[in-house]
Structure 1
Amino acid sequence: MFAYYLRLGWKSLRRHPALTGLIMLAVGLGVGVAMTLFSVHYTMSLDPIPHKSDQLYAVRIDSWSPEEPYNDERPEEPPWQLTYRDAMALLESDVPLRQTAMFKSVFSVNDDAGEIKPFFVVSRMAQRDFFGMFEVPFLYGGPWNASADVNPEQVVVLSKETNDKVFGGEDSVGQLLKLGDDYFTVTGVIDEWQPLIKYYDLNNSPMGDTEDLFMPISITPTMELSNDGNTNCWKREDINTYEDRLASECIWLQFWAELPTSEMRARYQDWLAAYVNEQKKLGRLERPMNNRLDDVNAWMEVNEVVPEDLSALLGLAFLFLAVCLFNAVGLLLARFLAKAPVVALRRAVGASKRAIFSQHLIEVALIGVGGGLVGILFALLGLAGLRGLVSYLDQVAVLNWTLSGIAIGIAVIATLLAGIYPTWRICRVAPSSQLKTQ
């Protein structure tokens, strides 16, 4: 019977194309607006490294002013970053499987031969463990040797884009790259790597591009590198030299630790507590102890990767969908009541209310599928508009096959709900009243 009802529904839709198209347009407009915002919300909420997100932890200690919290609106939260001295001290722990302190800096790529026009690049200063922790894929070579994390070595890992630009995409391992007036030996070239959310550093934008270069953080003091990220200080200090900057209470480094087991996490919490207590004895870290280990998803929540405004807009979008469905109810009611004589005739020759109800619901489902397809078109237009207005949404303002399926599912379910009342009304039409008028 399903195939029969499907055939009847299809014929009915073709019989009144204008009204059918109007209903699909109403449903599609609502679904399109809702899916535009739902797609962005959904993609930004995805776990960026699902098989490992509960093993990677952003490490924080409260080194802020004893007089006031770091964040007045969220006073329970310690600062987002660490001081240089604390980050270097935490690297002394042997508890984590892997760990890295990091920040980003800017360099100028130069070419002695003059074949390449100088350009600026952003480098991620980190430990060798960075690549293993965040599963960075390599195209050529690999990370620098572990010795470079202890003794400063002028080595560098290139992004694929930088390697293409400087070395024409060839295997550049062992080649020299001139940054400013210094030369760095290439140890590796990473393959395409662009997490949807740049979860390892959420300071400036959760959708920022990955860095152009990766270099050992150990060269920071000798090269007196600048920080291209956020730097926050809570007190006035005499900072006349780079050594003064490194010894200051300003926070500007991120720190991550890989802790695969609960036992390892407990041991690391104990290690952090011992370190903080030791610093308190030295007159530092005067605030109450507030050490935090936030896994990837918790870290994204702390940094509000999915802003409350977006959630509010998503709610409004679904309210707009409800308004569109309310209009669809009226159009469906008009469509079905126009068929009252035909329904009365079918009832008179033996069709049951259940059969009439089933047939009209299948017809409504077909309208829902059409509305979903129209909604996908509207959503694609809406997402293209968002990408044009906000460039950093390029990675998340997309509609994949999963989201397209969700769009059609929402359209069908919503249209079925909207079609229940019109279908119920047409089933209650008395055959005798319609046949007498004919």
Structure 2
Amino acid sequence: MLTYYFDLALRSCRRSKALTALVVLLMGCGVATCMVSFAVFRAAAADPIPWKSGQLFVPQIDNFGPAHNWKGEPPIMLSYTDAVALLHARQARRQVLIYGSKWTVLPDDARQQPSPQEGDAVSSDFFAMFDARFRYGGGWSAHDDDQRASVAVISSALNQKLFGGADSVGREINLDAHVYRIVGVLDDWEPRPRFFDVMSTFDAFGHPRQLYLPFSRAIDLQKATSGQFYCSTNTVDPDLPDWNSVLHSECAWIVAWVELPARADAARYRDWLRNYAAEQQRLGRFGWPPNVRLSDVMQWLHQDSFNVIPKSSALSLIVSVSFLLICLVNVIGLMLARFMRRAPEIGVRRALGASRGAIYRQFLTEAAAIGLAGGVLGLLLTALGMAGIGKVFEPEIARLARLDASLFLLTVLVAVLASLIAALYPTWRAAQVQPAWQLKSNG
């Protein structure tokens, strides 16, 4: 019977080619607009490390107090005092401290100009925690952290620039007039967004960092953060007089991450955070009850304190869905006109014994066929739209959007489902046609 219904649908489309083309065009345009925006939104909002995002957490400790925090939430970064305490406590499988900094690469050839580079000061667990891929070598050890070793990991892009892409492990790089031994070269590893470093880069979708150096070494060199550095109004002035004052202030500028494989581990670590904050209260450092948070990757990215997902991508998705709904309203009207023009045909079929269910199946099959055609057109328009999204959205995000197999199938599925939904009311009206009235009016 399905083949029969498709044959009827094909005949109907041939009889009303202009109306069919208009419905297909509306569906194709509506679906394509929606799918292009969805592709961009999906790229911006996707889980950056789905295989372990539920195991990675950001600990937060309120060292500002209820009078100075934001809506009762702890600062999203830590002071040096709290960050080092968490690192040395080793209550998690892995723990990492991160802050961004700026470095100057001094070339061996004096005729070449020094080049500024953005880098991250990180502790040794960083590379294993975030599954960083290496082309050559690897990360440094915890012993290197303890010894404040002059070691570095560089990106493949910087390795290409300095060493022509060769294996540079064991070679040296001059940063700010200090020599560092290269222990690893990253592969093309560019998490998007850079979820672990949101507060340092200011741009979670920007260019990746080119340098990674030991956190302890950067502290020894008194490297100031290039990211956010903020203090509550009850602490010392942000323009701190010296590095020692920075380290002992209550200003927040370091992001901490911990890896907790099991839910029970997360519960235990949360209890440890509360106990740590309670201890600081007993010591007189905090004058308020413990206020801590432990957020996994997706909770961290969706914090109200900062918006990692660009508002433009979310707004465009809302506008596109609204446009698709407007298209559906118009398609409903066209379908209704299309089906009701065939009232005499429906009356004859009902008089010959066709049930209302048969009428439903016939017209819904026709709507599905039109939706399939709209889906094919939508795919072509989506592919065309994907080629030009860099002119509408931020280039860093636009280049992440892909017309992959899942988007391909979703485009066709949305078109077919939208057509079926749009055809429900017209089909119901068609099924209500009274055979006697049609036969009498035709007689």
Please confirm whether the aligned pair reaches a TM-score higher than 0.5, indicating the same fold.
yes
Q: Is the 8 A contact 2:66 2:72 kept in 1?
A: no
Q: Distance in 1 between matches of 2:172 and 2:41?
A: 43
**Residue of structure 2 in register with 1:148 after alignment:** 144
Q: Is the 8 A contact 1:172 1:189 kept in 2?
A: yes
Shift of residue 140, structure 1, vs aligned partner: 0.9
**Residue of structure 2 in register with 1:199 after alignment:** 195
2:405 to 401, 405, 427: 401
Matches within 5 A, 1:243-322: 243-302=244-303, 303-306=306-309, 314-322=317-325
The one-letter code of the counterpart of 1:259 is L
Shift of residue 7, structure 1, vs aligned partner: 3.1
Matches within 5 A, 1:166-185: 166-185=162-181
Q: Distance in 2 between matches of 1:209 and 1:40?
A: 18
> Taking structure 1 as reference, are residues 67 and 52 closer, same or farther at Cα in structure 2, changes over 3 Å only?
closer
Cα deviation, 1:190-236, whole Å, max 9, x if unaligned, reads 11222232221222233234321111111123322121211112233
Q: Distance in 1 between matches of 2:428 and 2:111?
A: 76
Q: Distance in 2 between matches of 1:14 and 1:114?
A: 76
Q: Is the 8 A contact 2:105 2:176 kept in 1?
A: yes
Q: Is the 8 A contact 2:104 2:116 kept in 1?
A: yes
Cα deviation, 1:263-292, whole Å, max 9, x if unaligned, reads 433443343334333433444233431121
Matches within 5 A, 1:10-409: 10-64=10-64, 66=65, 68-71=67-70, 75-113=71-109, 117-203=113-199, 204-234=202-232, 235-237=235-237, 239-302=240-303, 303-306=306-309, 314-343=317-346, 351-389=354-392, 390-394=394-398, 396-409=400-413
The one-letter code of the counterpart of 1:292 is R
Partner SS state of residue 23, structure 1 = helix
Shift of residue 341, structure 1, vs aligned partner: 4.8
Q: Distance in 2 between matches of 1:149 and 1:240?
A: 27
- Consecutive unaligned residues in structure 2, runs of 5 or more: none
Partner SS state of residue 330, structure 1 = helix
Count of equivalent residues: 434
Bigger mean CA offset, 150-159 vs 366-375? 366-375
Shift of residue 434, structure 1, vs aligned partner: 5.6
The one-letter code of the counterpart of 2:33 is V
Q: Distance in 2 between matches of 1:116 and 1:169?
A: 18
> Taking structure 1 as reference, are residues 255 and 20 closer, same or farther at Cα in structure 2, changes over 3 Å only?
same
**Residue of structure 2 in register with 1:421 after alignment:** 425
Partner SS state of residue 165, structure 2 = coil
- Consecutive unaligned residues in structure 1, runs of 5 or more: none
RMSD: 2.8
Q: Distance in 2 between matches of 1:44 and 1:37?
A: 11
Q: Distance in 1 between matches of 2:253 and 2:163?
A: 32
> Taking structure 1 as reference, are residues 112 and 10 closer, same or farther at Cα in structure 2, changes over 3 Å only?
same
Q: Distance in 2 between matches of 1:211 and 1:409?
A: 40
Q: Is the 8 A contact 2:44 2:310 kept in 1?
A: no
Bigger mean CA offset, 416-425 vs 302-311? 302-311
The one-letter code of the counterpart of 1:120 is P
The one-letter code of the counterpart of 1:183 is V
Q: Is the 8 A contact 1:138 1:190 kept in 2?
A: yes
Cα deviation, 1:287-329, whole Å, max 9, x if unaligned, reads 4311211111221222444467865654443333222111111
Normalised TM-score (structure 2): 0.88
Q: Distance in 2 between matches of 1:181 and 1:433?
A: 95
Shift of residue 100, structure 1, vs aligned partner: 0.8
Shift of residue 242, structure 1, vs aligned partner: 2.0
